Amino acid sequence: MVYPSAGAWCTSHFLGERFVMGKENILKKTWVMVLLATLCQALWGVVFPVIKKSYELFSISGVGSTLLFASIRFMVAGVILLLIDTVMEKRFPVLDKKGCKSVLMLGTIQTGLAYAFQYIAMMSAASINCSILNGTGVIFSTIIAHFLFKDDKMTVKKAIGAVLGFIGVLVCFVWGGKLEGFSLKGEGLMLLSILTFVTGTNISRIITKGIKSIVVSGYNLLIGGVELFVLALLLGGRIGNGGLYGIICLLFLSFTSCVCLYLWTALSSANSVSKVAVFQCVNPITGAIAASLLLGENVFQPKYIVSVLLVTISIIIITKGGKKIAK
């Protein structure tokens, strides 16, 4: 998933504080915020095409092998985040009983389940379709948050943005008046993955309060990764030798799961959420470009151009908020 993880919703400003220089937080500088936020979302946008390319390089086929590849990515990312916290705090992050239950639930839902659905879906779904559908994560998260949080209600602008986003998705799959390019085992499972992930994100805002975001994210990825690893072994998962290019792809995917998440969370802590979140509009654009360059997908068809444009505008409108229509 290329959607900010649960750690981004924690109340701690731990990450942002790490970038404080004197009395001024460098992440509050507009040019720094714009540069890093754009970079994070641009890299996250490339994730889907890189995953598809990795399937080719590692000769991955079958659910077990797919989940094994995913588990390696998330276990590596989780360990890196926990080691970063250990180095900065000079001690390994240990959680109390309540914290353990929280990260166990979150890791199972947001990494274990959500990414299992996603990686299986990508075995048959086109990368460009996944990038477009991924934009609905912002929409679903907004809708779910409306019912869970009093301070995060639906607004007129958010509603308009959500409608535009769904229209963008429909354009992608119903261009010409008939349903094309949509399958339940591919795009349908991808939507289920997105719903599972954003549900976990909103739940995390309740169950992970008081835990540092980097720790939540680290355990989230590690726990989910271990669960995927065990399941993959039970299903007989095997992956081939991906060569140097394959290793680079795997390291890139792990990098986006931890380093980009670290930076994004720090930006969200140092600036207003809407100011940073608007850069999620970069995601579907870079995803489309990467699908063309890495996989040779014909993304310059009219339906894809219109769809990506509508989804991008939808994200911008939603993250800008507006007047509440419900209390």
DSSP of 228-271, one letter per residue? Answer: HHHHHHHTT------HHHHHHHHHHHHHHHHHHHHHHHHHHHHS
The number of residues making up the chain comes to 327
Give the pair of three-digit tokens for residue 67: 């989940």
Other Cβ atoms closer than 10 A to 149: 12
- DSSP letter for 211, please: S
pLDDT digits (tens, 9 = 90+) for 97-129: 888 998 999 899 989 999 999 999 999 999 999
Please tell me the number of Cα atoms within 13 Å of 165 on its side-chain side: 28
Please tell me the number of Cα atoms within 13 Å of 109 on its side-chain side: 19
Q: Which residues neighbour 74 within 8 Å (Cβ) at sequence distance 6 or greater?
A: 111, 115, 221, 222, 224, 225, 228, 254, 257
Give the pair of three-digit tokens for residue 225: 């990764």
The whole model's pTM is what? 0.84
pLDDT at 23: 42
Q: Which residues neighbour 177 within 8 Å (Cβ) at sequence distance 6 or greater?
A: none
Q: What is the pLDDT along the chain (327 residues), one digit of tens a residue?
A: 545 444 444 433 444 445 444 445 788 888 888 899 899 889 988 999 999 999 999 999 899 999 999 999 999 999 999 999 999 899 999 988 888 998 999 899 989 999 999 999 999 999 999 999 988 888 888 888 888 777 778 888 889 999 999 999 999 998 877 778 888 899 999 999 999 988 887 787 777 778 887 888 899 999 999 999 999 999 999 998 889 999 999 999 998 888 887 787 778 767 766 677 788 888 889 999 999 998 999 888 999 999 999 999 998 898 876 555 554
